[in-house]
């Protein structure tokens, strides 16, 4: 069965070229040319991956992505953009992107990144919730809760916390976290891992959890719970 891909790209010739190339590699592509239509299509249909341009005529790509995440659309997203500064990339990942590819790019690189995300196992397959320590991770609502306290997570935060909860007490290096959460070919660096650890720690503090992500100096991070 061919993977269903949504392409949101306003450059008509580039959109058509990508659509043709992806179809040639056995992907089923639905394309649109602005953010409003992209959000509507993503909300009405199931796609396995979304390719999203940042410079759209009606909305900035990160705004489109934030709206999708707020609407409960957690499909993996690769941002396609000519914006290549470090801050641009950080903004993209913070908005909820799974990967970030700078234009111009080689088709082979896009295909490799797509395959890496499509190989990523579906989060918590067959489960609606995952419990560990004093935390409950809810797949349907993309939340983490501790008693009455609850926090909404981005897709990346959710995937990272799930990895820790499925492997309690395991020490992960930053490189392992990058590979498992962002993919082997990601351009994200170790500093971005540290940023997301900070985000998760803030969520855990907000919901008053006794669970915590500890720094193992010289190695990486591990999830523990206070006695």
> Is 66 a member of any domain?
yes
The total number of structural domains that make up the chain: 2
Identify whether residues 209 and 151 lie together within a single domain.
Answer: yes
| Geometric angle at alpha carbon 164, from 160 and 167, rounded to 5° | 140
Identify whether residues 182 and 99 lie together within a single domain.
Answer: no
pLDDT at position 125 is 45
Can you give the residue range of the structural domain that contains 84?
4-119
The CATH number that applies at residue 189 is 1.10.10.10
**pLDDT tens digits along 185-214:** 666 677 888 999 999 999 999 999 999 999
Retrieve residue 84's tokens: 């290549």
Identify whether residues 104 and 179 lie together within a single domain.
Answer: no
Give the domain-ending residue among 65, 86, 119: 119
pLDDT at position 190 is 77
Identify whether residues 10 and 115 lie together within a single domain.
Answer: yes
Identify whether residues 22 and 45 lie together within a single domain.
Answer: yes
Query: Judging by beta carbons within 10 Å of its beta carbon (0-12, 13-18, 19+), is residue 72 exposed, middle or buried?
Result: exposed
Identify whether residues 138 and 214 lie together within a single domain.
Answer: yes
Identify whether residues 147 and 89 lie together within a single domain.
Answer: no
Given phi > 0 = left and psi -120 to 50 = alpha, else beta, which region is 59? beta
Query: Judging by beta carbons within 10 Å of its beta carbon (0-12, 13-18, 19+), is residue 140 exposed, middle or buried?
Result: exposed
> Is 31 a member of any domain?
yes
Identify whether residues 106 and 185 lie together within a single domain.
Answer: no
Identify whether residues 102 and 151 lie together within a single domain.
Answer: no
> Is 124 a member of any domain?
no
Per-chain mean pLDDT for the chain = 86
Alpha carbon distance 151, 96 (integer Å): 16
Alpha carbon distance 2, 70 (integer Å): 28
Identify whether residues 171 and 136 lie together within a single domain.
Answer: yes
- Does residue 123 or residue 159 have the better pLDDT? 159
Identify whether residues 109 and 140 lie together within a single domain.
Answer: no
Identify whether residues 24 and 90 lie together within a single domain.
Answer: yes
| Residues above pLDDT 90, as percent of the chain | 44
| Range with lowest mean pLDDT among 16-20, 82-86, 102-106, 151-155 | 82-86
In which band, very low, low, confident or very high, does the pLDDT at 124 lie, cut at 50, 70 and 90?
A: very low
Give the domain-ending residue among 71, 95, 119: 119
In which band, very low, low, confident or very high, does the pLDDT at 120 lie, cut at 50, 70 and 90?
A: low
């Amino acid at each position: 069965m061919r993977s269903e891909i949504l392409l949101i790209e306003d450059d008509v010739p580039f959109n058509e070229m990508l659509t043709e190339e992806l179809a040639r590699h056995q992907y089923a592509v639905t394309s649109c040319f602005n953010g409003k239509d992209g959000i509507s299509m993503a909300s009405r249909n199931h796609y396995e991956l979304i390719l999203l341009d940042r410079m759209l005529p009606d909305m900035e790509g990160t705004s489109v992505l934030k709206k999708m995440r707020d609407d409960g659309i957690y499909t993996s997203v690769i941002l396609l953009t000519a914006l290549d500064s470090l801050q641009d990339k950080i903004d993209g990942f913070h908005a909820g992107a799974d990967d970030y590819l700078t234009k111009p790019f080689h088709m082979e690189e896009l295909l490799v990144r797509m395959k890496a995300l499509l190989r990523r196992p579906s989060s918590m397959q067959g489960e609606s919730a995952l419990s560990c320590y004093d935390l409950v991770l809810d797949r349907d609502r993309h939340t983490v809760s501790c008693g009455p306290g609850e926090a909404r997570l981005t897709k990346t935060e959710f995937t990272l916390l799930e990895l820790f909860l499925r492997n309690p007490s395991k020490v992960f290096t930053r490189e392992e976290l990058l590979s498992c959460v962002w993919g082997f070919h990601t351009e994200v660096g170790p500093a971005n891992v540290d940023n997301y650890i900070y985000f998760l720690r803030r969520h855990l503090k907000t919901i008053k959890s006794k669970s915590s992500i500890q720094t193992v100096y010289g190695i990486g991070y591990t999830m523990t719970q206070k006695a």
